[in-house]
A and B are shown apart, each in its own frame.
Chain A
Amino acid sequence: MVRAKFWENIGKDKVVKYFLIIPVVLVLFGVVIYPFAYSVWLSLHDVTIMNYFHPPFSGVDNFLRIFRDSFFWNSIRVTFTYVLVTTGIELVLGFFLASLMNRNVKGTNIFIYPLIVPLALSPIVVGLMFRMGLNRLYGPISYYLGLLNLPRDLLSNVSTALPTLMAIDIWQWTPFVFVILYAGLQALPKDPFEAALIDGASGWHRLLYITLPLLKPVLAVAIIFRIMDSFKTFDIVFILTKGGPGKSTETITIFIQRMANIQGNVGLGAATTLLVLVFITVFAQFYVKYLSLGEKKR
């Protein structure tokens, strides 16, 4: 009876919709759910290349080892510094450039093209470019820094290596924020601004009370994209410093790469990745809550 009902319903919407989502579910399972479950399994076992096929169960031992590893906390500190500083500066600079372009002064649109050139370069190319440019012996950037009596060994000084990497990141990704915010500014309605002008609102008031609130959804998108990308930064750090000098630029991705690929400790690498996922999830929860609170107040 049930079987007959199933075959009768097969042409109807309520059964067809389940068939239609099966491919997506399969892909999701293969690309997201299974790898995640496998990562959790790896993190609970002492998996190294040597015992890869028969790893002993270790419970939370991997997590405890990571928590006790001072280099892990160093990489967390480096990563959070990197993410917060680069995202913050890119947002401010990107907004500033977008506002300038949004004034629609004749002939200024042509400046958009050279602005977005860094965005077109792959991170590895950017890394190699600056690696050669900053070389003390023959790099042009180093040469001009010398002419200006500025320090020339930026990447080999513990106090300047991370700021230098951040500056390179800002150079490459500010155009990305600019493009998003410029599109957002262009799409804003004109009426509130005209009304504000009539009421005598200053530029600063218009920015604070009209532009930024209206641009909030676009800003949220730009922030989330940049934070997610910054967390994953690997190429530039790997090419330029590989985490050095010392451990001053060892981000969490470099740390995980060292654990899993170089040391061959896959279990530790998986445990570290899960811990980072927890950090990011907690951060995302706070961020979304803050955004929702903002929406509710309005």
Chain B
Amino acid sequence: MLRCKSWFSVIVLVVGLSGMFVAGTAWASPAKKTTIHVLVRTGIEADGMKEAADYYNKNVGSKTGINVVIDEIGRHGYLTRVVTMLLGRSPKYDAAFLLSNYVGELASAGVIESLDRYFADKELYPYDKEKVGFLPVSFKSVNYKGERYAFPFVISTMFLYYRKDLIDNPERLSTWDGFLDLAKQFTKSHNPASPTEFGTVMQGKSGECMPKEWYVYFWSFGGEFFGPNWKPQFNSPAAVEALKYKVDLVRKYKVVPPDVDTYEYMEVLSALATGKVPFAIQWDAAYPDIQKETEGKIANIAIRVTPHKEGVDPAAFTHTWTFPINAYSKHKEETFRFLAWLTSDPEGSLWVAKRMSIPLPTKQVFFNSDVLAVNPQWEFMFNFMEQYGHAEVAIPEWPVIHDTINTFFSLAFAGEITPEAACELVNTKVEDIMKRGGYYK
């Protein structure tokens, strides 16, 4: 009996002390702020976003009552983990940094929020849309069934980088014929007097980027992914010509290193930065690194539009890193306000662009003189994308289609099937994918 009383006393004491602690904490805490969590991948994006969040919390958060916390996870498998988190319907993260390829898929699963009603609300989005001037192609990439599902944040494209000291007539690089001629001229096996061993380099590794680079060739050979009624056109003459041209660079003309099918972004960047090749197609994000690496060592590397077939327009591949809002977030409006400030507020978006060198896809950013002083290549980049921008198709089936293209084109690059067979196989598989997706009535 005495032992029971002792235990009872201990329990009452613990519960009483806990209750006092909780009440005291609540009383001592300042006016409640809503905390939102934004997930970003480790690297320059997370570092920059943390600075942006600090700035927001100190200068804007006190007025809006929003406190922003940036959480980061590693780059390896980042997109897989974000998709898993969103499908898990966890409210832990209110927004996540996500590639536009996934927007259609996740929108159809209902795990990211449609933003149209938020954009239409003047209280939530008080900015002048004309003045902000989002690039139309950037919103196209986050559009699913006519609704916007994310904020475009970082827009990317590919340039043709070339060494000014070796290429005295860069106009020759305007067409694919000129590109090939110059590549042969700078390949030792064609021209023993060439200062470089190979004429160019490409991202040939099986995976995310190899098909994206091919899209640049495809569009600039006059190709389109789908015709009327969603009929795939991966076996069109333009598609076959584009793939054959690329495969021939590797297997027939040998103007690229033979191990190019192990190359991704880093290998192409290294090849350009070390002057191993006179020109190559590479992402815009490489520009600052290449300028830094080549300063004083070799003549600065310049950029121009990617080549095109005679009679066809050049193509600016665009994809966008975006911020969708988690459909299960408990703070959607607060999250929207922060993301609107980040991308559309003159103070916020310009701070982000200047401090983080993030190419926000808005005229407000791209044509700001302070921003251009730090990133002079952006004016060219914006005009290139505005004039010739092409984006991947924002349908839920796109990741499967992209992987199908990667699978069969890898076989073509390895010499196991012909480009014609690869294009035919892709087209058949894509038609099957679209049929199962209910696109053909």
By a beta-carbon cutoff of 8 Å, the part of chain A in contact with chain B is 49-53, 71, 124, 131, 134-138, 142, 152-156, 158, 240-248, 258, 261-265
21 contacts between A and B (CB under 8 A): A49-B396, A53-B109, A124-B76, A131-B262, A135-B259, A136-B258, A137-B198, A153-B257, A153-B259, A158-B415, A241-B206, A243-B410, A244-B413, A245-B261, A245-B414, A246-B416, A261-B77, A261-B80, A262-B403, A263-B399, A264-B105
List 5 tightest A-B contacts by C-beta distance, closest first: A246-B414, A244-B206, A245-B414, A153-B258, A156-B259
Chain A nearest Cβ from B396, distance in angstroms: 5
- Chain B residues in 8 Å Cβ range of A241: 205-206, 262
Least CB separation from B277: chain A residue:
A137
Proximity bits, B409-441, A CB within 8 Å = 1, else 0: 011011110000000000000000000000000
Tell whether, in the assembled complex, residue A137 and residue B410 are in contact, meaning their CB atoms are under 8 Å apart: no
Tell whether, in the assembled complex, residue A264 and residue B400 are in contact, meaning their CB atoms are under 8 Å apart: yes
Tell whether, in the assembled complex, residue B407 and residue A247 are in contact, meaning their CB atoms are under 8 Å apart: yes
Distance in angstroms between the alpha carbons of A246 and B416 in the assembled complex: 7
- Chain B residues in 8 Å Cβ range of A138: 270, 274, 276
Given known A53-B109, A135-B259, contact A258–B403 (CB-CB < 8 A)? yes
Tell whether, in the assembled complex, residue B261 and residue A244 are in contact, meaning their CB atoms are under 8 Å apart: yes
Distance in angstroms between the alpha carbons of A247 and B106 in the assembled complex: 29
By a beta-carbon cutoff of 8 Å, the part of chain B in contact with chain A is 76-77, 80, 83, 87, 105-106, 108-111, 197-198, 201, 205-207, 257-262, 267, 270-271, 274, 276, 396, 399-400, 403, 407, 410-411, 413-416
Chain A nearest Cβ from B208, distance in angstroms: 8
Tell whether, in the assembled complex, residue A137 and residue B276 are in contact, meaning their CB atoms are under 8 Å apart: yes
Chain B nearest Cβ from A38, distance in angstroms: 13
- Chain B residues in 8 Å Cβ range of A261: 77, 80, 83
Distance in angstroms between the alpha carbons of A242 and B203 in the assembled complex: 13
- Chain B residues in 8 Å Cβ range of A240: 262
Q: Which of A50, A71, A134, A265 contacts B259 (CB 8 A)?
A: A134
Chain A facing B: main interface SS: loop
Q: Which of A50, A71, A155 contacts B262 (CB 8 A)?
A: A155
- Chain B residues in 8 Å Cβ range of A71: 407
Tell whether, in the assembled complex, residue B206 and residue A155 are in contact, meaning their CB atoms are under 8 Å apart: no
- Chain A residues in 8 Å Cβ range of B76: 124
Distance in angstroms between the alpha carbons of A131 and B400 in the assembled complex: 27
Distance in angstroms between the alpha carbons of A71 and B429 in the assembled complex: 14
Tell whether, in the assembled complex, residue B416 and residue A158 are in contact, meaning their CB atoms are under 8 Å apart: yes
- Chain B residues in 8 Å Cβ range of A243: 206, 410
Distance in angstroms between the alpha carbons of A131 and B262 in the assembled complex: 8
Having A158-B414, A158-B416, one finds 12 other A-B pairs with CB under 8 Å, namely A134-B262, A135-B259, A136-B259, A137-B197, A137-B267, A137-B274, A138-B276, A154-B259, A156-B259, A242-B207, A244-B261, A262-B403
Q: Which of A131, A137, A155, A156 contacts B271 (CB 8 A)?
A: A137
Least CB separation from A249: chain B residue:
B206
